[in-house]
A and B are shown apart, each in its own frame.
Chain A
Amino acid sequence: METIHQYFDLNYVIRSLPDFQIGLIWTLETGAVALVLAFVWGLALVALIMPRFWWLRGPARVYIEISRNTPLLLQIFVLYFGLPLIGLVWSAFICGVLAIAGQHGCYLADVFRGTIESISNTQREAAKALGMSRFSVMRLVILPQAILKVLPPLGNQVVLLIKDTSLVSAIGVTELTLVGKQLVEQSATTIEVFVVIALIFLVITTCAGLLMRFIEMHYRVRF
């Protein structure tokens, strides 16, 4: 028993609970804001790569491929260290959120595109043949199927996005990971802090995953 206490002592963690609280709030805030922005950005991008705006398609595709195939950390650095040079001095939080939303918007755009393309064109034609307007084809035929198909990959992306919020610690946003690093550096404890942080992240991502699953069930029953 004593040896366990020697290695694993939660007293320090309990004493620094207020710090954890700050970190948790920043993590959730980063995740929530980035998620909403990523969703909007993804919808905007998928509109751009659809055949209608053929002249924007090339540039949008190039942007998406570059964003998807380079580390998010570098994109965060580019915004955080680069934007002040062109006169935009924004806080680390805003830069971090924008970078996360940028990359995950690109992932989501591809998810959305795949979903829309997977709904066969014959459905659109059949609905048109019934005399439906463009709007009601979208509302009554395409969207209900699209929502059902998009929810599982969307849930995946939500979990990945929440995990990526830990990267904003690199530019000094005091979310959980940075709080953990500071706590470890201030004390002699080594293991406990990050075990607790890992558990907190596990709870957050599991809850997010379950919530997405719940929404999916909800829609499956309705349609």
Chain B
Amino acid sequence: MFDVLYSSFPYLMKGAVYTAWMSVVTIIAGSLLGVILGIFVIYGPTALRRIITGYVFVIRGIPILVLMFLTYYALPALGVNIGDYVTVCGALVIYCGAYVTEITRGAILAVPRTQFDAAKGVGMRLSQYLRLVIFPQAARMSIPPMLNNCIMMVKSTAYVSIVGVWELSYAAREVAERTLSPFQVFFGAMIIYFAICYPMAIVAQRLEKKTAYSH
């Protein structure tokens, strides 16, 4: 019954390696970008804050697919030839960065203001306050939403196949069209995505429950 899936599984796994690579690279780069921008959006100068707020607003308001098409068509026209994979990964990083900026901002603002007064009271400088008081708490609070964001990013890498970049979804579609057994093949691809995403979902849910009880 699953003979097609069995014979095409190695090919799908090859695609899964591409998906995994793209996910890891874009999540790390996007999260770094987002954390830095999230800190600047609170403690940075006003002009920078406005620019970052605008970036977050625009990117969160348009579909990732439109952003991919935009970079995919625009960059070569502007004379930037960096290859398909780098282009779509760039779009994913920009997208991920906007969401992580919001997560970081929310986590920092969730630390009660009284702690700022307390830190000032014991004579801390702003840098010490950030390093010793804010970041440890904000980091702990932002782990569940960050994990959920990672899940979203892994799922978003599937959309690069629409632009025409080869990875797991593209491979699955190739195999499905060749073998005419879409249920088996897409089921196999979904299992692979599920195997990547579900562990993160479990950890996120556990941590969410933990923080919910501690209040």
A binds B: yes
**Structural contact, B74 and A73, CB atoms closer than 8 A:** no
Instruction: Report how far A167 CA is from B69 CA in the complex, Å.
Output: 12
**Structural contact, B193 and A69, CB atoms closer than 8 A:** yes
Inside 8 A of B62's CB, which chain A residues have their CB?
163, 198, 201-202, 205
> Residue B63 at the A interface, CB < 8 A?
yes
Q: How far is the CB of A209 from chain B (nearest CB, A)?
A: 8
Q: How far is the CB of A58 from chain B (nearest CB, A)?
A: 16
Contact of A191 among B63, B77, B172, B193 (CB under 8 A): B77
Instruction: Report how far A78 CA is from B158 CA in the complex, Å.
Output: 14
**Structural contact, B63 and A77, CB atoms closer than 8 A:** no
Considering the complex, give the chain B residue whose CB is closest to the CB of A164. Answer: B63
Instruction: Report how far A198 CA is from B60 CA in the complex, Å.
Output: 11
Instruction: Report how far A169 CA is from B74 CA in the complex, Å.
Output: 20
Tell me what chain A mostly uses at the interface: helix, strand, loop, or mixed: helix
Once A7-B78, A70-B190, A190-B77 are accepted as A-B contacts, the answer to whether A177 and B159 lie under 8 Å apart by CB is no
Contact of B66 among A7, A68, A190, A197 (CB under 8 A): A197
**Structural contact, B65 and A77, CB atoms closer than 8 A:** no
User: Among B61, B158, B201, which residue has the most Cβ atoms of chain A within 10 A?
Assistant: B61
**Structural contact, A71 and B201, CB atoms closer than 8 A:** no
Instruction: Report how far A68 CA is from B198 CA in the complex, Å.
Output: 9
Instruction: Report how far A146 CA is from B198 CA in the complex, Å.
Output: 29
Instruction: Report how far A84 CA is from B89 CA in the complex, Å.
Output: 34
> Residue A170 at the B interface, CB < 8 A?
yes
Inside 8 A of A198's CB, which chain B residues have their CB?
58, 62, 66-67, 70
Contact of B197 among A69, A85, A163, A180 (CB under 8 A): A69
Inside 8 A of A70's CB, which chain B residues have their CB?
155, 190, 193-194, 197
**Structural contact, B186 and A81, CB atoms closer than 8 A:** yes
**For the side of the interface on B, what is the size category?**
35 or more
> Residue A220 at the B interface, CB < 8 A?
no
Interface string of A80-110 (1 = CB under 8 A from B): 0110010000000000000000000000000
Inside 8 A of A13's CB, which chain B residues have their CB?
none
Instruction: Report how far A78 CA is from B191 CA in the complex, Å.
Output: 13
Once A71-B159, A191-B74, A194-B73 are accepted as A-B contacts, the answer to whether A77 and B182 lie under 8 Å apart by CB is yes
Inside 8 A of A195's CB, which chain B residues have their CB?
70
**Structural contact, A205 and B190, CB atoms closer than 8 A:** no
Q: Which of B51-92 contact A (CB under 8 A)?
A: 58, 60-67, 69-70, 73-74, 76-78
A-B contact pairs, 8 of them (CB 8 A): A69-B151, A72-B155, A74-B158, A82-B186, A159-B61, A177-B63, A190-B74, A198-B67
List residues of A whose CB falls within 8 A of some B CB. 7, 65-66, 68-75, 77-78, 81-82, 85, 159, 163-167, 169-170, 176-177, 180-181, 184, 190-191, 193-195, 197-198, 201-202, 205-206
List residues of B whose CB falls within 8 A of some A CB. 58, 60-67, 69-70, 73-74, 76-78, 151, 155-156, 158-159, 161-162, 169, 172-173, 176, 182-183, 186-187, 189-190, 193-194, 197-198, 201
Known pairs A81-B176, A159-B60; list 8 more (Cβ under 8 Å).
Answer: A7-B78, A66-B194, A69-B198, A74-B189, A77-B173, A169-B65, A191-B74, A201-B66
